[in-house]
Amino acid sequence: MLSLPPHVWYTRAMKEEIISLTKVNKYYGHGGGRQQVLHDLTLTINHGDFISIVGTSGSGKTTLLNIVGGLDRRYDGTCVVDGQQVEKLDDKRLARLRNETLGFVFQSFNLMEHLTCWENVALSAFFQGSNIPQSQIYSRAVEVLERFGLHDKIHSQPANLSGGQKQRVAIARALYNKPKILLCDEPTGNLDSKTGDDVIELFKSLNREDGITLLVITHEERVSKATDRSIHLEDGRIVSENAEAPPVK
Amino acid sequence: MNLINVIKLVRKNISRNSKQLLVASIGIVIGLWAFSLFLSFGLGITNVVEGEIFPWDKIEVIPPATNLEASRTRTPVANSSACDENDFYIDGKPNGTVNHDLALKFHKKRYLDNEVVEMIRRRPEVRTAYPKMKFTFPAVAEGGQDALHLANPLRTEIFADGIEPSTLIQCNEKETAEDMERPREVRQCDVYFPFQFKDYALESDPDEPICSTSDDCGAGVYCEEEDPAKVWVFPLNKPDVGNLRNRYYKYCYHAIPVLVSTYLLELWNGSVAPAHGYPKISKSTLGTFLGLTFDTYLGLSMFTSKAQTVPPITRKFQLVGISRKAIPLGVTAPLTVAARYNDYFATRDEAGDVLDKERPKAETYSSIVVRVKSKKQITSFLAFVKKLGFTQEDTNAETVGLVILFITGILVFISFVIVIIAAINIANTYFMIISERRREIGIMRAIGANRGDIRSIFLAEAALLGFLDGALGLALGWLTATFVDWVIWHVVPEFPFKPETAFHFPLWLVISTVIFGVAFCVFGALFPAYKAAKIEPSEALLPQ
Ligand SMILES: Nc1ncnc2c1ncn2[C@@H]1O[C@H](COP(=O)(O)OP(=O)(O)OP(=O)(O)O)[C@@H](O)[C@H]1O
Ligand SMILES: [Mg+2]
């Protein structure tokens, strides 16, 4: 178990906001085919929050996550992530924000099939600005993989792993650089309920023990129930913010 | 991004798409194969031409064309007569240091003599300079039936000249043995042991023993009728030779040593020998041809039936070496031999009696062969030659060099066209690969790659591919060259100047082939890489 990093205590005490969206509008297409996907979305997420985003298909969940994750900058409004205004960052700074502050987990795992597990996990080190020694890159990858019970899969190709294992590798990759925020798009969508539950437990521990802010898109109730708060999107609008009482720590 | 990691990533990427990339690379490899092969061929042929056929550093200084006669008879020019010869020596006495400026100013020479040779030798551009004197009378050679196993002797008109023996490399027994083992191009000896290249007449005792057959004389020495030209050298000893047609005595004379050129050897092996069924002269059989003697009729010609005005002289010539310094088509004798017989034929009448004419000086040369130190210095040396009032023998080397350059240029251009077209193929393949890897690009962007990183990954991949293509093209070019050399050497019949290798792969060629491979692959991948970098990460991550 990793000991609690100092910022966990700090954030829990302060309830400081880490993500804030103000009047975000998002359109797809132009001219007659122009379609508004997000309508005046305003949202605040604090340090250490464990939040689920629910809503019907096409309601704009992925679009919202892409904006928060700095993957999509073509929107109106303001989006501040970890104190940085996303739309004002240049390509390099935005890439660094994704590299250092954010982690992504996708429904379809999105592992690089031609790289081994540890190489997949260590990939974000490749894009870090400073020159990290090779041995350090490797040992960090092993450390994260071992934490998720994948010590025997370090040199395996992703093709030889089960769905649950693949998703754990993907999570390990997202956590490699010790991000503050983990953004997950249907992380249990391709998993059976048993392995899905394992992933939920994993997320819980990441949130509780490491103080990572989690934003999880899901359509599964058991996932949304596990979170502190559920944001319900409908047609690009927040229809309810069902804040449950945070569990006793 | 860290370089080692980029290389790792790129290597894995290449091996993942290896088949696709191999197909795409075929054009680049073929283009670079052609590039390295054509260019090395051009360089190899230039080496043969510049090294053997027309040595780049060789300049033959000759008297001005309008004044050919002057090379033989000394006709002082007007302004030189006003000037005392000793003026040209800095310390005012002969054999002192030549004052070049003075000499140039007052003494525009129309003939080549020792003074000119000395002036040329002192030039900083000049490595070596040696004078040549052509035989100014016709000659016919006869012989060779023993060496070539013929029923009748060969008979041919020959052209001859003379050079200073001191300018030749005369090898001893050990050096000769070593030299015979070397390939023709790098052979160093001009004269092979046990033969010597010198004018025996100059040192032999004027009172040679009288003989009746060659058996009375030693080895390499022949019993011959008195040499009337030799008598000319020692007038005091033989004052009353009188009418040379009445020769009563025979003397032991050493055969006159002569050299033939490597060119003549090539011509013999490539054209004469195959056409007439004569044996070729190879490295192993060279020894049997050395020492070959043939009778030479000096003052006789096969070209004209007109009776010679001066009675011909019969001498034995002996082949003692094969040299680059020898006259291309003919034989080269010691300089003083040429001088002596030129002298003889120029100053005799029909009866062989001495004409009452100013005798030409022995050291009036037909040309001076100069080797310059570097290509760059040729221009300044030629300027000096022009200032002296002389000119250079036109060898056509420049024309041949230009033709080679032109042909090589066209071939290299063609290979470039191939490579450029191939680069378009590379571009196509990369457009395909990028749409295949669209999601990966999205993942990398999500993980923290910026646009530049994505671009670099693809360009680095293309660079590595280009490096491999370049190396492969070069290796194929080299293999082809080796094969062609083998074919030329073992299958193609002998031809003049058949080279040991027709190709030359200098380091810069090796490096530039690889660099071109890298450059063109990177060029091909440039647009695709920019396109890949432009993809929005959110779009790249969309499910297909
Ligand atoms: N790249 C795109 N171009 C055009 N329209 C898009 C694009 N991406 C999404 N949309 C549209 O925007 C709307 C919201 O899409 P989004 O992917 O955010 O929905 P979602 O809530 O994630 O749905 P799901 O649960 O099916 O993943 C949809 O109507 C979709 O058709
Ligand atoms: Mg979605």
Question: For A68-123, how does the pLDDT look when each residue is reduced to its tens digit (9 = 90+)?
Answer: 999 999 999 999 999 999 999 999 999 999 999 999 999 888 999 999 999 999 98
B470 CB-near residues (< 8 Å, 6+ apart): B28, B32, B513, B514, B515, B516, B517, B518
From ligand 1's centre to the CA of A231, what distance in Å? 17
Q: Which one of the ligands is nearest to B542 CA?
A: 1
Chain B positions touching A66 (Cβ under 8 A) are: 537-538, 541
Residue A110 touches chain B, beta carbons under 8 Å:
yes
Q: What is the pLDDT confidence band of residue B79, given thresholds at 50, 70 and 90?
A: very low
Contact: A91, B451; criterion CB under 8 Å: yes
Report the complex ipTM. Answer: 0.90
Task: Give A131-189 pLDDT, tens digit per residue.
Answer: 788 888 899 999 999 988 898 999 999 999 998 899 999 999 999 999 999 999 999 98
Q: What is the pLDDT confidence band of residue B91, given thresholds at 50, 70 and 90?
A: very low
Contact indicator for B404, B49 with CB cutoff of 8 Å: yes
d(CA B130, CA B120): 9
Task: Give B483-536 pLDDT, tens digit per residue.
Answer: 999 988 887 766 666 677 889 999 999 999 999 999 999 999 999 999 999 999
Q: Among A61, A71, A74, which residue has the most ligand 1 atoms within 8 Å of its CB, making it the best to mutate?
A: A61
Instruction: Name the residue of chain A whose CA is nearest to B4's CA.
Output: A134
Instruction: Name the residue of chain B whose CA is nearest to A70's CA.
Output: B446
Task: Give A2-23 pLDDT, tens digit per residue.
Answer: 455 555 555 454 578 899 999 9
Contact indicator for B478, B14 with CB cutoff of 8 Å: no
Between the alpha carbon of residue B371 and those of residues B167, B275, B423, the distances in Å are 12, 35, 46
Contact indicator for B130, B368 with CB cutoff of 8 Å: yes
Residue A108 touches chain B, beta carbons under 8 Å:
yes
Q: What is the pLDDT of residue A5?
A: 59
**A-B Cβ pairs (cutoff 8 Å, strict):** 77
Q: What is the pLDDT confidence band of residue B302, given thresholds at 50, 70 and 90?
A: confident
d(CA A242, CA A228): 9
Q: What is the pLDDT of residue B80?
A: 40
Interface test with A, best of B2, B433, B441, B455 (most A CBs within 10 A): B2
Nearest residue (by CA) to ligand 1, atom 19, is A58
Q: What is the pLDDT confidence band of residue B209, given thresholds at 50, 70 and 90?
A: low
Task: Give A177-231 pLDDT, tens digit per residue.
Answer: 999 999 999 999 888 888 899 899 999 999 999 999 999 999 888 898 889 999 9
Pairing of strands A102-106, A181-185: parallel
Q: Is the pLDDT of residue B352 over 90?
A: no
Task: Give A26-82 pLDDT, tens digit per residue.
Answer: 999 888 889 999 999 999 999 999 999 999 999 999 999 999 999 999 999 999 999
Task: Give B271-299 pLDDT, tens digit per residue.
Answer: 888 888 887 777 667 777 788 888 888 88
From ligand 2's centre to the CA of A59, what distance in Å? 8
Whose tokens are 């052209």? That residue is: B159
d(CA A157, CA B199): 87
Report the percent of chain B where pLDDT is more than 70.
79
Annotate B459-482 with b (16+ C-beta within 10 A) or e (fewer).
bbbbbbbbebbbbbbbebbbebbe
Least-confidence region, from A217-231, A233-247, B73-87, B124-138:
B73-87
What's the token pair of residue B66? 């309008």
Chain A positions touching B5 (Cβ under 8 A) are: 125-126, 137
Strand order of the β-sheet with B367-372 is: B154-158, B139-143, B293-298, B313-323, B256-261, B331-334, B160-163, B126-134, B367-372, B58-62, B391-392
Nearest residue (by CA) to ligand 1, atom 16, is A60
Q: Average model confidence (pLDDT) for chain B?
A: 79
The distance of A188 to chain B (nearest Cα, Å) reads 16
Choose between B141 and B48: higher pLDDT: B141
Interface test with A, best of B538, B542, B544 (most A CBs within 10 A): B538
Secondary structure class of A39 (helix, strand, coil)? strand
Contact: A127, B452; criterion CB under 8 Å: no
Q: Ligand 1: list residues with CB < 6 Å.
A: A 28-29, 37, 55, 57-63; B 539, 542
Contact indicator for B63, B110 with CB cutoff of 8 Å: yes
Contact: B537, A128; criterion CB under 8 Å: no
Length of chain B: 544
Instruction: Name the residue of chain A whose CA is nearest to B12's CA.
Output: A114
Q: Is the pLDDT of residue B97 over 70?
A: no
Per DSSP, B535 falls in state S
Contact: B1, A126; criterion CB under 8 Å: yes
Amino acid at B444: M
Contact: A98, B4; criterion CB under 8 Å: no
Q: What is the pLDDT of residue B354?
A: 59
Q: Which one of the ligands is nearest to A55 CA?
A: 1
Contact indicator for A107, A186 with CB cutoff of 8 Å: yes
Contact: A126, B452; criterion CB under 8 Å: no
Q: Which one of the ligands is nearest to A57 CA?
A: 1
What's the token pair of residue A249? 């720590």
Count, in order, helices (H) and strands (E) of chain B. Answer: 18, 13
The distance of B7 to chain A (nearest Cα, Å) reads 11
